[in-house]
């Protein structure tokens, strides 16, 4: 019986990935490209759609609207989310311009999760 011999070949792409010590994780910082609207009336029910990138599902992505943090979002895709403008009777928002910012929890490292922040976009309540 003849001995079975084989050689293992590795593709050049795989070699680059294995050998490259400078390889890094993908960018997960959320980015806002635009909003469906940039103005609305104060204390009126309004859903704002956000177009952007690097949005994540399962509660890891939230919105900050002015002083109000951790506003839940509806996740459609990694490029589209929406949130409802907060209507609070206890601490109502006055008319003015507020910043909208997307925040995501970075769970890439389970040891030390951190929060990453998007760029800020201005929104006006009239």
Domain residue ranges in the chain: 29-125
The pTM score is 0.76
Decide if domain 29-125 falls under CATH 2.60.120.10. Answer: no
Cβ-in-10-Å burial (0-12, 13-18, 19+) of 5 comes to exposed
Interstrand relation of 39-40 and 121-125 (parallel, antiparallel or unpaired):
parallel
Exposed e or buried b for every residue in 82-103, given b needs 16+ CB within 10 A?
ebebbeeeeeebeeeebebbbb
pLDDT digits (tens, 9 = 90+) for 46-73: 999 999 999 988 888 999 999 999 999 9
């Amino acid at each position: 019986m003849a001995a079975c011999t084989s050689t293992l070949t590795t593709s050049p792409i795989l070699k680059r990935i294995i050998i490259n010590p400078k390889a890094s994780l993908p960018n997960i910082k959320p980015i806002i490209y635009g909003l469906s609207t940039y103005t609305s009336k104060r204390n009126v029910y309004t859903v704002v759609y956000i177009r952007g990138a690097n949005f994540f599902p399962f509660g890891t992505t939230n919105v900050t609207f002015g002083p109000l943090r951790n506003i839940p979002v509806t996740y459609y895709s990694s490029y589209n989310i929406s949130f409802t403008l907060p209507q609070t009777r206890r601490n109502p928002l006055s008319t003015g311009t507020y910043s909208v910012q997307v925040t995501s929890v970075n769970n890439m490292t389970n040891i030390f999760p951190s929060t990453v922040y998007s760029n800020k976009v201005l929104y006006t309540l009239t």
